[in-house]
Structure 1
């Protein structure tokens, strides 16, 4: 277990899984979106620290910027249209 935790690919995989979860944020009901956002932040900070520790500050800053961009601007393909799918 210790050898797996010290492997940079494991940290990168956790960061990618976090990114997938962040891409699903627009599909969460509006009532739970604020809580889901904070849950993503609370889960993402240790993953970001782990990734920075294993891969260096360059990767840490890169993944911080990617994570912030996912939380602030969700991907274009996942934006919901109106109630009936109208433009």
Structure 2
């Protein structure tokens, strides 16, 4: 197993442990740290193992960090949906 895949598995394990710890801020600061570490890690996995492995790691990370992605999707729809509906 490559070094990048091991790091991605450790990232997923750390994200799971972080999710089990109670948080007053609903884990948003921890999510920002996971995103900051996860994006370069995703690039490293894709570079070392190819696009299919990168896609698998992306889907795994997206399932862990689904709420930031949902909020990003809603924000993008609001940004492009309002400007497209104006005459």
Give the shorter-chain TM-score range: 0.5 to 0.7
TM-score, structure 1 as length reference: 0.68
5+ long unaligned stretches in structure 2 = 68-87
TM-score, structure 2 as length reference: 0.68
**C-alpha contact (below 8 Å) 1:25/1:37 kept by paired residues:** no
Pairwise mapping of residues 4-83 of structure 1 onto structure 2 (< 5 A)?
9-26=2-19, 27-31=21-25, 33-72=27-66
- Ranked by relative contact order (alpha carbons within 8 Å, sequence separation 6 or more), the top structure is 1
Residue 24 of structure 1 aligns to a residue whose secondary structure is: helix
5+ long unaligned stretches in structure 1 = 1-7, 74-87
Question: Which 4+ residue blocks in structure 1 deviate beyond 4 angstroms?
Answer: none
- The two structures, once aligned, show a CA RMSD in angstroms of 1.8
- Higher helix residue share: 2
